[in-house]
Amino acid sequence: MMFDNENDYLKGLNEVQQQAVINTEGPVMIIAGAGSGKTRVITYRIAHLLKNGVDAFNILTLTFTNKASREMKERIATLIGGSEARNLWMGTFHSVFAKILRIESERIGYQNNFTIYDTADAKNLIKSLIKENGLSDEVYKPNLVYNRISGAKNNLVSWQAYQNNKELVAEDYSSQKPQLGKLYELYQKRLFASAAMDFDDLLFNTNVLFRDCPDLLSKYQHKFKYVMVDEYQDTNYAQYLIVKKLAAAFENVCVVGDDSQSIYAFRGANIQNILNFKKDYPEAKTFALEQNYRSTKVIVNAANSIIKNNQNQIKKNVWTDNLEGEKIKVLRTFSDTEEGWNVAQNIFDIKNNAQARNKQFAILYRTNAQSRAMEEALRKMSIDYRVYGGLSFYQRKEIKDLLAYFRLALNPNDEEALKRVINYPMRGIGQTTIDRIVLAAGENGKSMWEVIENVTAYNTGINSGTTAKINDFVAMIKSFGVMIPAQEAYPVAEHIAKHTGIMRELYNDKSPEGVSRYDNIQELLNGVKEFTDDDLVRTATEQLPEEPVLAGNEKSLAYFMQDIALLTDSEQKDEDGKEADKVTLMTIHSAKGLEFPYVFVVGLEENLFPSQMTLNNREDLEEERRLFYVAITRAEKKLMLSYATSRFKYGQLINCEPSRFLDEIDQQFLDLPSAPKKSNLFDDDETGGWGNRGSFGANSFTKKTNYTPQSVNKPLPPKPVPVAVPKNLTRLTSNTGGSAVADEIPNLSLGNLVEHARFGNGQIVALEGTGPNQKATIDFGANGKKQLILRFAKLKVVG
DNA sequence: GTATTATCTAAGTCT
DNA sequence: TAGATAATAC
């Protein structure tokens, strides 16, 4: 331990924080406002427990996301030292209980080498079931079916209970989907036959385990004498019950959360869990952390003015001693593309004016699709960035393909993996054959693997040529299976990558995408190698039970797969190990728990944020509002909110209205785009109706607002020239006489000498595009050749 | 069984 | 728009 003296580590905490740290016995609820030092309290609490002689192995800390768990682990390690930290049980609900199930699953009839299906696997399985049962995928949309089943599992409703529940059945009848209960049953049975669990099963089956095996429940109750749950407002019923059961013996349960930041109801999170904590534990002590240490007064108060529009909440008073700070800047642009440019330009300016680093900036959005416009603009302005979320490394096709071989070698009954690779790379086992195998499997109550293992024993009608190909495939998979327990992960993985022909296939594809796929495979193999070579110092959650439960030793491929099964975001390390200086792009959901000095929240438009799907009922809309609350409370120094008056959706331009959330912020905290000018054509409403908001009546926001370019407040470059406009913006730009920013584009031709504020003098060597998009390649001599967007470059023609 | 073309439809957030 | 699927040709 780092601290010899008790005061040392309590000194840095305020009164309430100290109380939250030292009250370690009995149930405790900590209501932690945004930026109130929540993580600090949790880590100090753990340190306090350890200092008072509690064994690290007896402390379980559950988080919600991998990122949160990672960050918490790091903070703990700095606080108490790495070796002690390693013995703590800490992880997401899913990963902790996946590991426990890995050890105990045989007690509930699951083999312990079960595969974990991700959402894509699960939806594919559902698609197959819909097809096999002759149902229409128009009526039974796989997404909907999946969500329905997921919802049931999160509430611990088994398929049997589902089918016996009159209310649920009636709902399905009235929505014209009477087969949902049956699909749920088939889905579970097929998962079981494939020895697979989906994400929800990890929680569901943990509950089954604790319900049906009291000895195991007792074992884990005594193992985890202290249970801490972060982001408790986001727990669903399945998680709630696990926590309740685990804590039943000692009741040393500490939940930390903020009802204002509950943003996962769509995933079954039940905000009542935190609202009702006092009912479950009447003797619970409650601590409210209300002092915000993160943000300026402007930001904190603006956030408060937003959240007070929600009815359903625990009253609290978040305040701060920090500086007043700058007003929240509102950016208005007329297209999503320009929104990107505007944000990029603002980042550029702030970087220059405030000596800020890239990593101090975050751009937050409601949907992943919005990242593209931002990325393009940042790329063109040579600002380094990193996009979090979206399609993760492990979800790429080539990675899933190779992993499917690994999965299959470990668990040949894994049907989704089998289907994925039985004909990839192509080996002449086509759709017809696969259909026949599926049919035979269904008729005989066998898995697909059991059928192909002995094809000739079944009446499939598959010809002898294809049979031979199937036999080769089976033999290959079996040979992989034999290698796994005998060898470490890397040689096996490499062998599989080569032997299946995946490497060759991708190597021969010389298209840029093909090359990148090949690189990705190499990267995955490097990951395996690292796993194999690392002298593993495992954290408690990764530690093995007394006897190995998976094939081979802890460096086998089986353990590698366990490690990555629940990683949906890739932990991108930077090559040279130094911390990357990059702008962060992520959804608001994944930004929860993080903070940045400069934050842009983009796409503040009706139907986007709040999302169209949430406008129908109060609960959903309040969740969107909490999401907005989360977004703005990420900012420390300066917050910028941006919206566009038109945006591409489904490949076509649609008009957008500013978000109602902009109206809800107390306007005294906003720095609105400057006052209207008579001549400003943006004032003209006939192009789109950004100004009238129908039922929302007079929109103070749009009434007061008028757009003047935010990004151009510096000396103007030479006289603008009329520019051709890109065709998809024709209507808007012709109305406005060209993009507001494009007005400043100088008329350039090849060979012109120009002056740039940063790069100095240069010569135009190439011109590309027209209008606002015009790019020039300029040779700045010693400063190199740069490609610049003219609308931003602020070039002065000098010759 | 495979390759190419035509047509459709979806972008909501995370484990 | 773009990725996914269905239809068609080979």
**Bridge partners of A785?**
A779
Residues in chain A: 799
Say whether the CB atom of A727 is under 7 angstroms from strand C: no
**pLDDT at residue A272, rounded to an integer:** 86
User: What is the spatial distance, in angstroms and rounded to an integer, between the CA atom of A2 and the C1' atom of C3?
Assistant: 54
Helices A489-499 & A557-564, crossing angle to 10 degrees? 90
CB of A236 closer than 8 Å to CB of A269 = yes
Residues in CB range of A137: below 8 A, 6 or more apart: A127, A130, A131
Q: How many CB atoms lie within 10 A of CB A642?
A: 23
pLDDT in tens, A273-283: 988 899 999 99
A397: nt with nearest C1' to CA: C3
Give the mean pLDDT of A398-417: 94
Name the residue closest to the C1' of B11 by its CA: A369
**pLDDT at residue A512, rounded to an integer:** 78
Say whether the CB atom of A651 is under 7 angstroms from strand C: yes
Low-confidence winner among A125-134, A562-571, A629-638 (lowest mean pLDDT): A562-571
- Strand B proximal residues, A:553-572, Cβ < 7 Å: 566, 568-569
* Best CA proximity match to A399, nearest among A577, A272, A266, A526: A526
* Whole-angstrom distance, CA of residue A514 vs CA of residue A663: 48
Three-state secondary-structure class, residue A405: helix
CA dist A603 → A341, A549, A581, A660, A664 (Å): 13, 48, 25, 12, 16
* Whole-angstrom distance, CA of residue A218 vs CA of residue A320: 44
* Whole-angstrom distance, CA of residue A456 vs CA of residue A199: 36
Top mean pLDDT of A76-80, A138-142, A411-415, A423-427 is at: A411-415
A612: nt with nearest C1' to CA: B12
User: What is the spatial distance, in angstroms and rounded to an integer, between the CA atom of A127 and the C1' atom of C4?
Assistant: 13
Q: How confident is the model at residue A69 (pLDDT cuts 50, 70, 90)?
A: confident
Q: How confident is the model at residue A796 (pLDDT cuts 50, 70, 90)?
A: low
**pLDDT at residue A723, rounded to an integer:** 28
Give the mean pLDDT of A348-355: 95
Largest CA distance in chain A: 86
A465: nt with nearest C1' to CA: B1
User: What is the spatial distance, in angstroms and rounded to an integer, between the CA atom of A441 and the C1' atom of C10?
Assistant: 32
* Whole-angstrom distance, CA of residue A414 vs CA of residue A408: 6
**pLDDT at residue A675, rounded to an integer:** 42
Q: Inform me whether the pLDDT recorded for A255 exceeds 70.
A: yes
CB of A87 closer than 8 Å to CB of A57 = yes
User: What is the spatial distance, in angstroms and rounded to an integer, between the CA atom of A513 and the C1' atom of C4?
Assistant: 18
Q: Inform me whether the pLDDT recorded for A322 exceeds 70.
A: yes
Q: Which two tokens stand for residue A693?
A: 């908001």
Say whether the CB atom of A67 is under 7 angstroms from strand B: yes
User: What is the spatial distance, in angstroms and rounded to an integer, between the CA atom of A434 and the C1' atom of C8?
Assistant: 21
CB of A77 closer than 8 Å to CB of A43 = no
pLDDT in tens, A155-182: 999 999 999 999 999 999 988 899 999 9
**pLDDT at residue A775, rounded to an integer:** 53
Low-confidence winner among A357-366, A421-430, A570-579 (lowest mean pLDDT): A570-579
* Whole-angstrom distance, CA of residue A531 vs CA of residue A68: 22
Give the mean pLDDT of A494-505: 93
**pLDDT at residue A536, rounded to an integer:** 56
> Across chain A, what does the average pLDDT equal?
83
User: What is the spatial distance, in angstroms and rounded to an integer, between the CA atom of A267 and the C1' atom of B10?
Assistant: 21
Q: How far is the first Cα of chain A from the last one, in angstroms, to the nearest whole number? A: 68
**Bridge partners of A254?**
A28, A228
Residues of A belonging to the active site: 38-39, 230-231, 261, 634
* Whole-angstrom distance, CA of residue A387 vs CA of residue A584: 6
CA dist A4 → A7, A56, A243 (Å): 9, 18, 33
**pLDDT at residue A578, rounded to an integer:** 58
Element (H, E) at A587: strand A583-587
- Parallel/antiparallel/unpaired status of strands A196-198 and A115-117: parallel
* Best CA proximity match to A674, nearest among A324, A326, A332: A332
A728: nt with nearest C1' to CA: C1
Q: How confident is the model at residue A585 (pLDDT cuts 50, 70, 90)?
A: very high
* Whole-angstrom distance, CA of residue A220 vs CA of residue A237: 19
Say whether the CB atom of A312 is under 7 angstroms from strand B: no
**Bridge partners of A641?**
A330, A601
- Parallel/antiparallel/unpaired status of strands A583-587 and A596-601: unpaired
- Strand B proximal residues, A:78-137, Cβ < 7 Å: 92-95, 119
**pLDDT at residue A767, rounded to an integer:** 67
How wide is the angle at C-alpha A146 spanned by C-alphas A145 and A147, nearest 5°? 95
Q: What is the DSSP letter of A718?
A: S
- Chain C nucleotides with an atom closer than 7 Å to a protein C-beta: 1-2, 5
Query: How would you write A406-417 as a 3-class SS string?
Result: HHHHHCCCCHHH
Name the residue closest to the C1' of B12 by its CA: A367
Say whether the CB atom of A614 is under 7 angstroms from strand B: yes
A91: nt with nearest C1' to CA: B15
Distance of CA A253 to the CA centre of its chain: 28
- Strand C proximal residues, A:615-644, Cβ < 7 Å: none
Q: Which two tokens stand for residue A648?
A: 């591409």
**pLDDT at residue A92, rounded to an integer:** 92
* Whole-angstrom distance, CA of residue A681 vs CA of residue A737: 8
**pLDDT at residue A10, rounded to an integer:** 84
**pLDDT at residue A505, rounded to an integer:** 87
Q: Which two tokens stand for residue A6?
A: 């008790």
* Whole-angstrom distance, CA of residue A449 vs CA of residue A768: 56
DSSP calls for A7-71: HHHHTTS-HHHHHHHH--SS-EEEEE-TTS-HHHHHHHHHHHHHHTT--GGGEEEEESSHHHHHH
Burial track A327-348 (b if 16+ CB lie within 10 A, e otherwise): bbbbbbbbbbbbbbbbbbbbbb
**pLDDT at residue A70, rounded to an integer:** 81
CB of A723 closer than 8 Å to CB of A771 = yes
Low-confidence winner among A198-207, A353-362, A402-411, A739-748 (lowest mean pLDDT): A739-748
Q: How confident is the model at residue A554 (pLDDT cuts 50, 70, 90)?
A: confident
**pLDDT at residue A341, rounded to an integer:** 95
Say whether the CB atom of A652 is under 7 angstroms from strand C: yes
**pLDDT at residue A548, rounded to an integer:** 66
User: What is the spatial distance, in angstroms and rounded to an integer, between the CA atom of A535 and the C1' atom of C1?
Assistant: 47
More confident residue, A537 or A16: A16
Q: Which two tokens stand for residue A740?
A: 């507001």
User: What is the spatial distance, in angstroms and rounded to an integer, between the CA atom of A651 and the C1' atom of B5?
Assistant: 21
User: What is the spatial distance, in angstroms and rounded to an integer, between the CA atom of A424 and the C1' atom of C4?
Assistant: 18
**pLDDT at residue A328, rounded to an integer:** 97
A568: nt with nearest C1' to CA: B15
Which residue type does A313 have?
Q
Q: Inform me whether the pLDDT recorded for A708 exceeds 50.
A: no
More confident residue, A312 or A373: A373
* Whole-angstrom distance, CA of residue A379 vs CA of residue A357: 16
* Best CA proximity match to A421, nearest among A393, A443, A452: A452
- Strand C proximal residues, A:104-143, Cβ < 7 Å: 127
DSSP calls for A480-521: HHHHHHHS-HHHHHHHHHHHTSHHHHHHH--SHHHHHHHHHH
- Strand B proximal residues, A:170-209, Cβ < 7 Å: 199-200
Element (H, E) at A92: strand A89-92
Say whether the CB atom of A589 is under 7 angstroms from strand B: yes
User: What is the spatial distance, in angstroms and rounded to an integer, between the CA atom of A135 and the C1' atom of B1?
Assistant: 27
Q: Inform me whether the pLDDT recorded for A534 exceeds 90.
A: no
Which residue type does A215 have?
D
**pLDDT at residue A65, rounded to an integer:** 82
What share of chain A in percent tops pLDDT 70?
A: 81
Q: Which two tokens stand for residue A369?
A: 């699709």
Residues in CB range of A69: below 8 A, 6 or more apart: A63, A90, A91, A92, A95
- Parallel/antiparallel/unpaired status of strands A646-649 and A596-601: unpaired
A590: nt with nearest C1' to CA: B14
pLDDT in tens, A628-685: 999 999 999 999 999 999 999 888 889 999 999 999 999 999 998 754 333 333 333 3
* Whole-angstrom distance, CA of residue A680 vs CA of residue A561: 60
Give the mean pLDDT of A288-304: 96
* Whole-angstrom distance, CA of residue A194 vs CA of residue A446: 10
- Chain B nucleotides with an atom closer than 7 Å to a protein C-beta: 1-3, 9-15
**pLDDT at residue A697, rounded to an integer:** 29
**Bridge partners of A232?**
none
Say whether the CB atom of A7 is under 7 angstroms from strand C: no
Q: Which two tokens stand for residue A221?
A: 């109750």
**pLDDT at residue A785, rounded to an integer:** 57
* Whole-angstrom distance, CA of residue A16 vs CA of residue A118: 41
* Whole-angstrom distance, CA of residue A459 vs CA of residue A541: 47
Q: How confident is the model at residue A693 (pLDDT cuts 50, 70, 90)?
A: very low
Locus of tokens 């080769």:
A472
Give the mean pLDDT of A409-427: 93
CA dist A138 → A125, A131, A177, A370 (Å): 16, 11, 11, 28
Which residue type does A422 have?
I
A203: nt with nearest C1' to CA: B15
A131: nt with nearest C1' to CA: C5
User: What is the spatial distance, in angstroms and rounded to an integer, between the CA atom of A144 and the C1' atom of B10?
Assistant: 14
